[in-house]
Each structure stands twice: as structure tokens, then as C-alpha cells.
Amino acid sequence: MHLIMKSQFDDLRLNDDHEYSADDKGGKKVVKIFKNGELIAKKISVKRSVQYFGITGVESLLTEHTP
């Protein structure tokens, strides 16, 4: 997994084809996004630090926006 932008993560999360789960343990919040049962992205929040990660090739899973 590598770092991705917040907008890419939000695009994956809002896609109806993907499922996501949220977990909060002791101040560490993790949101995981799955497609067909496979983990494709995750968001990790610890205090004020937020990092977004995606699998290699996550760009192909993003929806295309037309103006």
C-alpha cells in the first residue's frame, strides 16, 4: 500500500460498488474500504494525524467525473 490523496479515498468510499468498515480503538481510528472482499484502501487517524493508503493500481478503481 502507498499514500493516496484524501479526494481519492473519498471517491472510493462514496462508490456504491465498494464496502467500508470503521473501527475506533483507543484513539486510533481506522476506516477500511473493500471491493469483492479485498482491502483496497484505508484511512488511519491518530490524534491530529490522518493518513490515506491505497493498493497499487488504485487509480483504475476511481470513478471518472465528467464536468
For the stretch 12-67, pLDDT in tens is 999 888 999 999 988 899 999 999 999 999 999 998 999 999 998 887 877 654 34
Question: Given this model, what pLDDT does residue 59 score?
Answer: 79
The number of folded domains in the chain is: 1
Rounded-to-integer distance, Cα 66 and Cα 39, Å: 27
Question: Could you tell me the CA-to-CA distances from 10 to 6, 26, 27, 41, 49 in Å, in that order?
Answer: 6, 24, 21, 10, 17
In a domain, 50, yes or no: yes
Q: Element (H or E) spanning 6, and its range?
A: helix 6-14
Q: Which residues constitute the domain of residue 9?
A: 2-57
Structural domain includes residue 9: yes
In the DSSP assignment, the letter for residue 38 is E
